[in-house]
């Protein structure tokens, strides 16, 4: 089978490797699509000696069933989950493998076949095509978990920092949730334009406008009530605190690093949100369906596996020309 390998800095090759076979409790999946995630930044690093195949937003069709499996049959359409918990700890037992201290990240999406434990596969609705289906795990799961962990009121003035694919989905979901004032921020003008098309009420480019002053002016002088951030940059972090009002809440998806000048009187609630839990999958599908959200609006390109290097180049080197990019295995 064909599989993508990380062979050097900004370099992926497609080579012929052995097809895997499913062990007990596992399925062999014929991969149909896999989206490039904003976290696939390994691409810009040096490859290690035996770099495994990456890609964790995949979909496919059950090709073979391992011993003891009961959940799916050959030919079933599936969406893949990327976090495999130990199954024994309190977090795993509570249905939150994302908090498991021994979790493993499962990839293998950029190849023709891959093996998954049955706990890592969800059923894909028949009426959803495989391009859209590649957005049904990570891409919608992350912003919707953010919406659960930090619930906005309809009258809140809400900022979304970073308008890559997930930031744009956050904006669409906030809109669908009924939030009346949404302000989108990004340093790429094309993404601000896209945000306006998708329902942002105001957009700000922090490179050309002081974001703190602009947000305060749009929010009656005090600042935003809530902010959702996909930007990991110390200056942006400071600005997010300074542009929210006293008592506001901030939800981050990307971690924090750097040096901050944040005063002790900045009373804020900081909410951390990571990936999504398996139990949320069905609820997420219903949210998208009930609100008639067209996820393809954030797909900018579809590339075949053979052109994966070009796809990564476009995703990470040309943010003004790309949003979500989906790789197809056919
Ligand atoms: Zn991801
Ligand atoms: Zn565990």
DSSP code for 124: P
Architecture in CATH of 151-272: 3-Layer(aba) Sandwich (3.40)
CA of 245 to the centre of ligand 1 (A): 31
CA of 96 to the centre of ligand 2 (A): 8
Least Cα distance to 134 among 109, 168, 153 occurs for 109
Q: What pLDDT does residue 184 have? A: 98
Ligand nearest to the CA of 95: 2
pLDDT at 284 over 90: yes
> Which residues crowd ion ligand 2, with CB under 5 Å?
85-86, 89, 92, 100
Model confidence pLDDT, tens digit, residues 23-80: 999 999 999 999 999 989 888 888 877 677 789 999 999 999 999 999 999 999 999 9
Q: What pLDDT does residue 45 have? A: 87
Query: What is the arithmetic mean of pLDDT over 5-28?
Result: 94
Interface predicted TM-score (ipTM) of this complex, two decimals: 0.96
Ligand nearest to the CA of 105: 1
Model confidence pLDDT, tens digit, residues 126-156: 999 999 999 999 999 999 999 999 999 999 9
End-to-end Cα, the chain, rounded Å? 12
CA of 151 to the centre of ligand 2 (A): 27
CA of 305 to the centre of ligand 1 (A): 18
Ligand nearest to the CA of 38: 1
Q: What pLDDT does residue 42 have? A: 86
CA of 274 to the centre of ligand 1 (A): 10
Alpha-carbon distances of 193 from 46, 196, 197, 201, 326, rounded to whole Å? 34, 5, 6, 11, 22
Model confidence pLDDT, tens digit, residues 216-233: 999 999 999 999 999 999
The boundaries of every CATH 3.90.180.10 domain in the chain are 2-139+276-328
Residues facing residue 159 across a β-bridge: 183, 227
Model confidence pLDDT, tens digit, residues 251-279: 999 988 888 888 899 899 999 999 999 99
Read out DSSP for 261-317?
A: ---TT---EEEE--S--TTHHHHHHHHHHHTT--GGGGEEEEEEGGGHHHHHHHHHH
CA of 36 to the centre of ligand 1 (A): 8
Place of tokens 């992350």: 142
The model's confidence at residue 13, banded by pLDDT at 50, 70 and 90, is very high
Ligand nearest to the CA of 119: 2
The boundaries of every CATH 3.40.50.720 domain in the chain are 151-272
SS3 state of residue 229: strand
CA of 102 to the centre of ligand 2 (A): 6
What is the fold, at CATH topology level, of the domain defined by 2-139+276-328?
Quinone Oxidoreductase; Chain A, domain 1 (3.90.180)
Query: Which of 257-261, 301-305, 324-328 shows the lowest mean pLDDT across its residues?
Result: 257-261
> Which residues crowd ion ligand 1, with CB under 5 Å?
37, 39, 138
Read out DSSP for 33-87?
A: EEEPPTT-GGGGSPPPTTPPP---SEEEEEEEE-TT--S--TT-EEEE--EE--S
Q: What pLDDT does residue 261 have? A: 86
Q: What are phi and psi of 203, to 5 degrees?
A: -130, 150
Is residue 18 within 8 A of residue 306, CB to CB? The reply is: no
Model confidence pLDDT, tens digit, residues 160-212: 999 999 999 999 999 999 999 999 999 999 999 999 999 999 999 999 999 99
d(CA 79, CA 41): 22
């Amino acid at each position: 089978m064909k599989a993508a390998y990380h062979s050097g800095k900004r370099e992926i090759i497609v080579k012929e490797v052995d097809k895997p076979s499913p062990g007990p409790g596992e399925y062999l999946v014929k991969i149909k699509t896999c989206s490039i995630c904003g976290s696939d930044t390994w691409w810009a690093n040096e490859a290690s000696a035996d770099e495994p195949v990456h890609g964790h937003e995949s979909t496919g069709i059950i090709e073979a069933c391992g011993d003891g499996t009961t959940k799916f049959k050959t030919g079933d359409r599936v969406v893949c989950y990327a976090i495999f918990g130990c199954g024994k700890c309190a977090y795993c037992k509570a249905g939150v493998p994302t908090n498991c201290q021994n979790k493993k990240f499962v990839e293998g999406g950029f190849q023709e076949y891959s093996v998954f434990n049955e706990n890592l596969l969800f059923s894909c609705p028949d009426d959803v095509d495989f391009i859209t289906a590649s957005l049904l795990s990570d891409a919608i799961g992350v912003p919707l978990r953010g919406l659960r962990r930090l619930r906005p009121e309809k009258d809140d003035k809400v900022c979304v920092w970073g308008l890559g694919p997930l930031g744009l989905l956050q904006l669409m979901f906030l809109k669908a949730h009924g939030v009346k004032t949404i302000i989108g921020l990004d340093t790429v003008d094309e993404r601000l334009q896209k945000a306006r098309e998708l329902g942002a009420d105001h957009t700000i480019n922090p490179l050309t406008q002081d974001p703190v002053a602009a947000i305060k002016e749009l929010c009656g002088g005090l600042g935003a009530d809530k902010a959702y951030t996909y930007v990991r940059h110390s200056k942006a972090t400071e600005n997010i605190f300074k542009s929210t009002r006293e008592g506001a809440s901030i939800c981050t998806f990307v971690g924090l690093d750097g040096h901050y000048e944040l005063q002790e009187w900045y009373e804020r609630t900081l909410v951390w949100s990571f990936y999504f839990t398996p139990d949320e999958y069905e609820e997420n599908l219903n949210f998208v369906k009930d609100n008639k959200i067209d996820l393809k609006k954030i797909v900018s390109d579809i590339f075949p596996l053979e052109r994966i290097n070009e796809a990564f180049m476009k995703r990470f080197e040309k943010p003004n020309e790309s949003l979500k990019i989906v790789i197809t295995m056919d």
